[in-house]
Structure 1
Amino acid sequence: MPAEVCWTKGILSTTACIFPEHVKQVLLTGYPVAGMWRSAAQQLARQKLHGVRSGRIASNFPLLRQVTTSQSTAHQASASVQSLDRASESDRSSEFKSGLRFLKPSTSSSPSSLTPLDSAFIELVDLLPKCWQSTSTTDFNHDHSKLQTPLQVFDSRAYSSALEEDELCDEDIIGKENEHAREALPNGSNWDTGLDADSLLEQKSRKRKARELHKRQVKIETEAWQQAATEYRELMTEMCRKSLAPNLPFAQSLLLSWFEPLRDGILEEQRAYGNREHREHRSMYGPYMCQLPADMLAVITMHRLMGLLMCDQEHGCVKVIHAAVVIGEAVEQEVRIFQLMNSQKKSKDAEGNTNSLGDVANNEELEATRKADLKSKKVVRDKVKKLVKQNKLRRVDSILKHASTDEPWSTVIHVKLGSRLLELMLETSFVRAPACQDGDDFGELRPAFQHKFKNHVLRQNVNRIYGVIECDQLVLAEIDQSVKHMVMPYMPMLVKPLPWKGFNEGGYLYLKSSIMRTQGAKEQRMAVIDTPRKHMKVVVEALNVLGETGWRVNKRVLEVVEKLWKAGGGIADLVEADDVPIPERPDTSDKEVWHKWKVAVSQAKRTNSERHSLRCDTELKLGVANKLIDEEAFYYPHNLDFRGRAYPMHPHLNHLGNDLCRGLLIFADGKPLGPSGLRWIKIQLANLYGGSVGKMSFDDRAAFAEDRMEEILDSAERPLDGSRLWLKAEDPFQFLAACIDLRDALASGNPETFVSHLPVHQDGSCNGLQHYAALGRDRIGAESVNLIAGDKPADVYSGIAERVKIIMEKDALKNPLTSRNAASARLLQGQIDRKLVKQTVMTSVYGVTFIGARMQILNRLKERSPIAVDPVDTYRAACYAAKVTLDALGEMFKEARCIMSWLGDCAKIIAAAGHTVRWTSPLGLPIVQPYRKHSRHLVKTSLQVLALRNTDDNHPVLASRQRSAFPPNFVHSLDSSHMMMTALACSKAGLTFAGVHDSYWTHAGDVENMNVILRKNFVKLYKQPILENLLLDFQTQFPDLVFPEVPARGDLDLKEVLKSPYFFN
């Protein structure tokens, strides 16, 4: 009943307010007091009493009297309550029952002398024994020894969540000192909040759901590997009991058959390290292998290796060094979580478990380490308990995640440990071909994995041999089906990510998270850590905004995808399920036939390898989608690359992925379309259809959708057996999602009030060149990339193609005997279009070289009909086209090319002096280019000798790489700054925002607002003297170096961007 909730809140606040603050916290959050008192208050509320008396609640209980009268700290108060918890049930019950007699007002007085408050209090006291009996088997019987975690926080958090579970602790009510309960509640409304009963119930339900999601998220992050190991053990037991093996899918039966032998092999290895006689050869990896139970190590090894085999570019094999490092890193991460959850368990508990730390690591070194660990964490534990009492649970999560003071494991440790686990996997994992139908032949039993060596030709007469783990063909045939049984760390979160508070503080609750992916570059890492937090405030807040955007799986699109996938793929850009057949060996001695056969075989194997990789990638994406299909919302924590670009930390299904990923994702929170939203969905459909449609004006794009409305609605209603217009789109699954949203909006009867979850994109026009044009105030370049308004969007690729055509037409008229370009120009007649030059124009912002441009154009020419009989002529034509294309770019973006050259020259000067190029982005992010020469050192492992790259920051810089990479890296730091500024401004305006570098997403009804915001922030960004600041930064860092002056700039007025409708479109 609503009134019951209100009354119960009031009763609790009344009984709490008479105590000092630290006692109040114990009463309201501690077992068993809170559980008993809560039950009594609930029962009293049910009797609809109209008043309660604040009085001597705990003064007659001996143990609680210690708390009441003491001026001790909150820690001591909590300890007093815990001592009561640990008392025997009979002692506790006796104490409470005897104490209750003194709580009642004297009954010898005349009944008429008792006030309504006295009577109410008598009834409350009478209820306490009953509540004691009803709660003694639930709230009170807690084994506190099981709650002694390394930081001793989960017991305290259990206390704080005890009252919250029934939503009876209202911070606004409890926090008011000396406020007595009121005698009546008006019409079931809350004390001071003004909320009605329905609102209170809704709030209660919302908070309970949030707590459940938080618990699930914690479990996902901290128990994934242990959960998998438990499932394997249970499935094995069930399989043996019920003979389920023949009914298991082949992929699952493989993993199950490998689990027990691998676990036993690891257990033997752990025991061997515990034996001093066999310890010598295990000294490097033994102590680390003994820090996790064997079953968890087995699951980590199996799943990580299978995951690498699924995702690696090589067909069915992975480099040993890569696999060893990945497995070693996964073990280290789980060790930190495992120690956090278990390092305070008493040794006697560990001795009884054959998989416990005490059994597998029974040696002085580990025992000393464990004791030192407990001592070092005592200070942190006290801090956590204080934060728990202050209800600062987010801060507690952060401390828990980063409490370990252990030094990170070195790469050598990762390699040694990972190699030994791989070796055990190879020794214990076998595969048997499926049995024949007659049952007489059980199939050949052979190793599931083999260690082999491959030869890689670096250049003529220079080879490099490297070791790989290669899986058997039977395993390879089923490997893409095993994704549903894989543990996938760093899944999207069920709750909003922790706000970033430091380099390693934020993102996931417990999984290792860093605000920047430094790839081992210590110089970059320290630059971020040493930067005052206030200087990076905008960057951090923007990352938090990106992480707080909620997502949901588009179930209707997923249903279509799964039907197509089960039917064999090969449609809507889905890879085909079957491999191409390998050509049969020719029965001839003709060398030319044999050469053609070898080429065909090589091509078929390459195609199959690509298909295998794409199939595994698709299975991973669909696996994640199916795990999240019933979630109302999930979130992507974001972090940065060294240039400042933001990326989701989950790697498989995210909005930065391909068309399949984007089609499967919609916003968790919907918004009404409003007056303009329906039009923007139509424009989105035209953009996704692609081709020349995306180059039309907005009105023409909307008209394109109107003209095909019947086919669009048919695609939404009958995607697989209708006209299937969506399959003709360049981005078919996103197009299908837009079709469905448009159909639902029209079917609602009032599109303006229809709540849409569809993300609508606004993309930059060759965004890198837009930033160069803004830097150089380049008017001609600005016109070609839509910084200046036009009737329809300008197409820079078509513009460059037209310039190239004009030059070639002139050259084609010349005499081939006197002009070396005439023949090539004639060969290219009719071949010049936007597709031929597009890649070169796109990569020009990345500093594409002549050689790179030549290769790009040559590849495009090879995709077409031959333009010449002799391949040499085609090659010469590609060289000529590359030169002309780069010249045309230089003419169109004159100021931009000058700035690009100036940036390269500055980087060359810095690198020549032996320094890395470093700068600060406009938002205060320090950026250090990581390009250095790296040495290699050899590490002998149980499998082979591995060559590890030494990433020491003391190595010489790679001068050429520092120079060539600086211009594109600098521009990336600018486009990330624009995206983050837009994200923050959208958040403040109440818009949902997602960013994919130069593509900004929001609800259809908010597109026009976002367009205004992103233009204002682009102008705001370039009002800063960016190049002058960069030069000053360089001169400050390197006072002994002389840098060229900033290039002259054009006369572009950046405010024209505000009026350009196709700047982002």
Structure 2
Amino acid sequence: MLPAPTPAAETAICPPSPPPPPPPPVLLPTKAPALMWRRLPSRRLADMCEHKLAPNLPYVKSLFLGWFEPLRDQIIAEQELVSERGTRASHAPYFNMLPADMMAVITMHKLMGLLMTGSGDGSVRVIQAACQIGEAVEHEVRIHKFLEKTKKKNTKEVDKVVEAVDADIAKEQERLRKKVTDLMKKQKIRQVRHLVKKQDSTRPWGQDAHAKVGSRLIELFIETAHIQPPASQSGDSTPEIRPAFTHEMRTVAREQQKSRRYGVIKCDPLVRQGLDRTAKHMVIPYMPMLIPPINWTGYDKGAHLFLPSYVMRTHGARQQREAVKKAPKEQMQTIFEALDNLGSTKWRVNKKVLSIVDRIWSSGGRLADLVDRADVSLPEKPDTEDEAELKKWRWSMRSAKKENSERHSQRCDVELKLAVARKMKEEAGFYYPHNLDFRGRAYPMHPYLNHLGSDLCRGVLEFSEGRPLGESGLRWLKIHLANLYGGGVDKLSYDGRIAFTENHLDDIFDSANRPLEGKRWWLEAEDPFQCLAVCMDLNEALRSPSPETVISHIPVHQDGSCNGLQHYAALGRDKLGAVAVNLVSGEKPADVYSGIAARVVEIMKRDAQKDPAKDADAARARLLVDQVDRKLVKQTVMTSVYGVTYVGAREQIKRRLKERGVIADDSELFGASCYAAKVTLTALGEMFEAARSIMTWLGDCAKVIACENEPVRWTTPLGLPVVQPYRKLGRHLIKTSLQVLTLQRETDKVMVKRQRTAFPPNFVHSLDGSHMMMTAVACKKQGLYFAGVHDSYWTHACDVDTMNKILREKFVELYDAPILENLLESFETSFPKLKFPPLPERGNFDMKDVLRSTYFFN
């Protein structure tokens, strides 16, 4: 029989011993990141009980308090059950290793955290939740066992121990226990785990055990966690009490394969609404640091003081992890230095912009790309038996629910970002430690509010240190505003962009002084919050009697022009490609998308002259020739760097044509999309012939290696070893008390096709990562503030000219090396018995032209 559910309104009653968990999650101070359920003292909950504060907590926080006791009691009952002889439950060997109250808190917080950051529909896959809960329990078990093992016994027991065991051993155990306890008080969990691991000789539980333990804890939580809707206004009826979580199976259909079923844990809509409201109370790991990050010196040595930090995000790829670990420190030195430089950039919150964001958000969102905080209304079921009407209603209901799920996910995301911004807004400055993905691209380790994020994130962040604008800085600030406004303005020459800004000074002043009460011109920008921040900066500067002396904290961006194609043009020394992507100077920036669109129009006009009776493409060309513009081809051109297929290009163009509604018939739309994709890829091949030949060569080399069941590996120009992680996955079934779970494990077989198709884009990403890190190191040596977002480089307005000079010099320096020759040599050295295709022919483009290219990055 299940314990009686505890209604949320009654959770102020102080629970009996053992002490319940800490209150639900909060943002932990940056100086003390750790496990929430270890770090927040339970006495805080006792204080709340004593002062009857629990009902005043946000709704979900109150639910946490109500869920704890029933779950803890059920875990105790389960522990008693598995202690009996003859119990064969698969989770039995692990279930008594931790006190029930600890297991209850771990289960609640882990599951709620996953629901918070999950798919947005209020659900999480059972396999994901079970494994993470089980792993968290194991970590706590190891620490708990160590503390129990080294606990001081009573006097008589101590005497017996001293007689039986060397006194030095007892002293050493006591010393270790004291050290662990002190570290836990200081919340140095990483060091605690390291110490405990050295003393713990037991074998790791493994993923199977994690899944079994986690599944049973989830099952108990589902049985005991209930929710009670708020009482009706009249108070005449008692609201129903219903389960807070349910377990259900879903089916996912897959093209050309059998459909697959998987289990999810789904929360009640009331819980989901509570998550919207209390997102800001969730624990956020890897918060920005208030002091500079530790310099990187090894694979797991650097960045955060106490949290586990790894120089690369390997996602379980063993060969990649081992390759980085084995790389000599001297070889990795430039990588470490670049990451240290990126992490040493000091940021702060732009309070003016944050206050505007808060006003919009508190008023319901809906402006500046912020999601609507209200759900759409669900359509009422029609009172009819007409199947056509019911079908229409079901479709509308699905659409409304899908929209609400997406809004929920976006609301949680905004709340998390704003929670960090509000937490950090009074700090003088903070830092983002960086690490790498396996290709060598750098990322901030904090996941929510960072400069790689959305316009909201970028708008509320600015450099902590301000610098006088100077004459050049004022010019670049005007250019930057035009870039952020977008809408084609960012394709003008610099003089054209400056003229745009100066023609809108009244709008800029109005936006800065009356952002919500005035004309709201800033809301028309493609990046509204960043545009608002620059409006405020320009307003201050231009209203000043000495604009050049005004201190600016705004990061000004310089972005590559279809950067992947820039790297291919450099690799192939391709003159035609170089002109198309601004490796050569021009009066205004070359627009590669407009260039491809123009070439597509040429081909279609030629085809339109043919006889439709003899050539089906003639009719399609006549239909499409007036529809071709940069927007139609942009996505295909962008993804060409990543090896977009004909099918992929067809689907991209089909979506654009469907949006325009010019072709109503589906079969006609399909045929037109096929033709447009074929012509676009032809135009790309003509304009970027060298890039295509290099992509093909890289893919062919990868296929040669992968056919030998070996992953493709290479070393970047900065010395980073890269191993492509694509291996076939084997399925492993585990029967748990909740359901049969399917675990996927890497096998020894590589995925030949994936190794081949992924290599060209991965290799180019490793080059753009190298260019960014080379620039970061050089900018630091010149005393510049620097931040990088892959192919977008940021610094103070007054330093843009210096950064522009550096990034061009470093690009030329990168390609001074024979990159493709070195790659082929490394392949032939690693696989001397294999035959690789010859290097593709290259042109005679002079890389020094990049040094004089005004719009290379702009």
Q: Distance in 1 between matches of 2:496 and 2:690?
A: 33
Q: Distance in 2 between matches of 1:290 and 1:553?
A: 45
The equivalent of 2:56 in structure 1 is 247
The equivalent of 1:468 in structure 2 is 264
SS of aligned partner of 2:332: helix
The equivalent of 1:281 in structure 2 is 89
1:307 to 92, 97, 113: 113
Preserved contact between residue 285 and residue 416 of structure 1 (Cα < 8 Å):
no
Preserved contact between residue 236 and residue 256 of structure 1 (Cα < 8 Å):
no
Pairing 1:290–2:97 present:
yes
- Per mean C-alpha deviation after superposition, the further-off stretch among 706-715 and 880-889 is 706-715
1:998-1037 matches, cutoff 5 A = 998-1037=791-830
1:864-879 matches, cutoff 5 A = 864-865=660-661, 867-879=662-674
Deviations 1:650-683 (A, max 9, x none): 1111111111111111112222222311111111
Q: Distance in 1 between matches of 2:548 and 2:178?
A: 54
The AA in structure 1 aligned to 2:794 is W
Deviations 1:469-524 (A, max 9, x none): 01112112222112122122222222222222221112222222211111111111
1:1047-1058 matches, cutoff 5 A = 1047-1058=840-851
Q: Distance in 2 between matches of 1:656 and 1:335?
A: 37
Deviations 1:718-771 (A, max 9, x none): 111111111000000111111112222334433323222111111110000000
Preserved contact between residue 190 and residue 308 of structure 2 (Cα < 8 Å):
no
The equivalent of 1:321 in structure 2 is 127
Cα distance, 1:832 vs structure 2: 0.4
1:20-39 matches, cutoff 5 A = none
The equivalent of 1:792 in structure 2 is 588
Cα distance, 1:949 vs structure 2: 0.3
Preserved contact between residue 151 and residue 177 of structure 2 (Cα < 8 Å):
no
SS of aligned partner of 2:470: coil
Point out where structure 2 has 5 or more consecutive residues left out of the alignment. Answer: 1-27, 156-164
Preserved contact between residue 327 and residue 414 of structure 1 (Cα < 8 Å):
yes
The equivalent of 1:930 in structure 2 is 725
The equivalent of 2:21 in structure 1 is none
1:128-147 matches, cutoff 5 A = none
Change (3 A) 1:452 1:904: same
Change (3 A) 1:425 1:507: farther
The equivalent of 1:256 in structure 2 is 65
The equivalent of 1:647 in structure 2 is 443
Cα distance, 1:303 vs structure 2: 2.8
Q: Distance in 2 between matches of 1:553 and 1:328?
A: 38
Preserved contact between residue 760 and residue 1003 of structure 1 (Cα < 8 Å):
yes
Preserved contact between residue 191 and residue 306 of structure 2 (Cα < 8 Å):
no
The AA in structure 2 aligned to 1:997 is H
The AA in structure 1 aligned to 2:843 is G
SS of aligned partner of 1:222: coil
1:619 to 392, 397, 415: 415
The AA in structure 2 aligned to 1:557 is V
Q: Distance in 1 between matches of 2:821 and 2:352?
A: 52
Q: Distance in 2 between matches of 1:398 and 1:304?
A: 19
Pairing 1:226–2:35 present:
no
Preserved contact between residue 270 and residue 286 of structure 1 (Cα < 8 Å):
no
Preserved contact between residue 433 and residue 442 of structure 1 (Cα < 8 Å):
no
The AA in structure 2 aligned to 1:307 is G
Aligned-residue Cα RMSD (Å) equals 2.9
**Larger CA Rg, structure 1 vs 2:** 1
1:906-925 matches, cutoff 5 A = 906-925=701-720
Q: Distance in 2 between matches of 1:902 and 1:827?
A: 36
Q: Distance in 2 between matches of 1:502 and 1:373?
A: 33
Q: Distance in 1 between matches of 2:57 and 2:286?
A: 28
Deviations 1:864-903 (A, max 9, x none): 12x2342111111011000100000011111111111100
The equivalent of 1:968 in structure 2 is 761
Deviations 1:37-85 (A, max 9, x none): xxxxxxxxxxxxxxxxxxxxxxxxxxxxxxxxxxxxxxxxxxxxxxxxx
The AA in structure 2 aligned to 1:894 is E
Q: Distance in 1 between matches of 2:178 and 2:109?
A: 34
What is the percentage of aligned positions where both structures have the same residue?
57
The AA in structure 2 aligned to 1:303 is H
The equivalent of 1:69 in structure 2 is none
Change (3 A) 1:737 1:910: same
Q: Distance in 1 between matches of 2:405 and 2:171?
A: 48
Q: Distance in 2 between matches of 1:498 and 1:606?
A: 44
Cα distance, 1:699 vs structure 2: 1.6
Deviations 1:765-819 (A, max 9, x none): 0000000000000111011100000111000000000000111111122211011
Change (3 A) 1:344 1:744: farther
Preserved contact between residue 560 and residue 791 of structure 2 (Cα < 8 Å):
yes
1:587-736 matches, cutoff 5 A = 587-736=383-532
1:761-772 matches, cutoff 5 A = 761-772=557-568
TM-score w.r.t. structure 1 length? 0.72
The equivalent of 2:785 in structure 1 is 992
Preserved contact between residue 217 and residue 495 of structure 1 (Cα < 8 Å):
no
Pairing 1:781–2:588 present:
no
Q: Distance in 1 between matches of 2:774 and 2:819?
A: 15
RCO comparison, higher one (Cα < 8 Å, 6+): 2
Pairing 1:490–2:283 present:
no
1:148-159 matches, cutoff 5 A = none
Change (3 A) 1:334 1:1055: farther
Preserved contact between residue 397 and residue 509 of structure 1 (Cα < 8 Å):
no
The AA in structure 1 aligned to 2:57 is L
Change (3 A) 1:734 1:759: same
Q: Distance in 1 between matches of 2:636 and 2:655?
A: 12
1:583 to 379, 395, 414: 379
Q: Distance in 1 between matches of 2:190 and 2:67?
A: 37
The AA in structure 2 aligned to 1:924 is G
Preserved contact between residue 349 and residue 425 of structure 2 (Cα < 8 Å):
yes
Q: Distance in 2 between matches of 1:270 and 1:553?
A: 49
TM-score w.r.t. structure 2 length? 0.89
SS of aligned partner of 1:533: coil
Deviations 1:395-435 (A, max 9, x none): x9986674444676532233233223322321221100101
Change (3 A) 1:902 1:791: same
Preserved contact between residue 401 and residue 509 of structure 1 (Cα < 8 Å):
no
Cα distance, 1:297 vs structure 2: 4.1
SS of aligned partner of 1:835: helix
Change (3 A) 1:705 1:938: same
Preserved contact between residue 228 and residue 487 of structure 1 (Cα < 8 Å):
no
The equivalent of 1:560 in structure 2 is 356
Preserved contact between residue 229 and residue 295 of structure 1 (Cα < 8 Å):
no
Change (3 A) 1:284 1:517: farther
- Per mean C-alpha deviation after superposition, the further-off stretch among 582-591 and 467-476 is 582-591
Q: Distance in 2 between matches of 1:654 and 1:260?
A: 38
Change (3 A) 1:694 1:238: same
Q: Distance in 1 between matches of 2:357 and 2:577?
A: 42
The equivalent of 2:48 in structure 1 is 238
Cα distance, 1:991 vs structure 2: 0.8
SS of aligned partner of 1:840: helix
- Per mean C-alpha deviation after superposition, the further-off stretch among 373-382 and 887-896 is 373-382
Preserved contact between residue 272 and residue 278 of structure 1 (Cα < 8 Å):
no
The AA in structure 2 aligned to 1:771 is H
